[in-house]
Chains A and B, each alone.
Chain A
Amino acid sequence: MYGRGESPARGRAPKLSLAEELVREWEREDEEFRELRRRSADWKYIEGQPPHVRAALLYFIERGDRYVAAKIAGLTVDEFDELRRRANIPVVV
């Protein structure tokens, strides 16, 4: 968290570099987006899918990455997107 030899001043938040702030913002975004996908997903539909498709949809819920999800399912991005829509999982950006 802190650089070598650094410690936070008492009662004051440590100053973050721009890169660290960006990474924290991305982590916050990732959590917000993951929760939106989880909440919206049709879990009954997902559980009824063949194993590789189910795995791809679960991966997409966790990471929101259509490309890797499509590869897990053995489909193109566009073909995977049809499954995503049926499973009611939103794209969040």
Chain B
Amino acid sequence: MMLGVVDACFLIDWSRYRRRELLASLFEAILVHEEVLAQLRSPSAVDFASRLLARGALRLYPWSTAEEELYVQLRDEVALDPRIPSLERPDLLCLVIARRTGAVLLTENLGVLRVVQFHPAYSRVTAWTALEVLEQMVYRGLIEVGSVEEFLNIISEYCEDAKHVFSSRRMKDVTGRVRAWLGR
């Protein structure tokens, strides 16, 4: 079992998904910073996060002074880069938590994904969008699919519920891996 750390965009979008309860089964625990929780306002996101907290599946991360220094450093490095969509403090905190704990970062934030792509210190962070989370749920038997088409139907459900679209590149990568896994 893995550790996860979640940002607000992921929680907001995932809380709309009809299979949202499966998330807790994929991770030993999902860490969350209190400033991420403070971003949630919609009944669906607040209710979902509260239920996960009550079950112990979502846990508040104890933030430290050393981590605050990492945050300031990362902020200074990415804040003025026009190629990175703006990142709010809570998102950068998630990146720091992922780096420090080795937890998988759950995010729907393009800026976060780009930091992981280019930043030397953060390129070891594993970042998953809902697409990779659903892929992992298939591998771990939480969602059963017998074909790539069935997997694509699962993705369509998520896209419909969360009003999401995954990039053609990301879809190609993930369906390729699922196809190989089904044919093993």
Q: Given the complex, which residues of B lie within 8 Å of A29, measured CB to CB?
A: 167, 169
Which of B37-45, B57-65, B148-156 binds A?
B37-45
Report B-chain residues with C-beta under 8 Å of the C-beta of A22. Answer: 117-118
Contacts across chains A and B counted by CB atoms under 8 Å: 78
| Chain A residues, Cβ within 8 Å of B159 | 90
Q: Indicate if the CB atoms of A77 and B9 lie closer than 8 Å.
A: yes
B111 to nearest A CB, angstroms?
8
Contact B86 A85 (CB under 8 A): no
Residue in B41, B162, B168 whose beta carbon sits within 8 Å of that of A32 in the complex: B168
Grouping DSSP codes into helix (H, G, I), strand (E, B) and loop, the A interface class, with mixed when no group exceeds half, is helix
B163/A91 in contact, CB under 8 A: yes
Out of A63, A77, A90, which one reaches B164, CB within 8 Å? A90
Measured CB to CB, the nearest residue on chain B to A39 is B165
> B residues within 8 Å of A by Cβ?
8-9, 12-13, 39-42, 45, 83, 85-88, 108-111, 113-114, 117-118, 129, 131, 159, 162-170
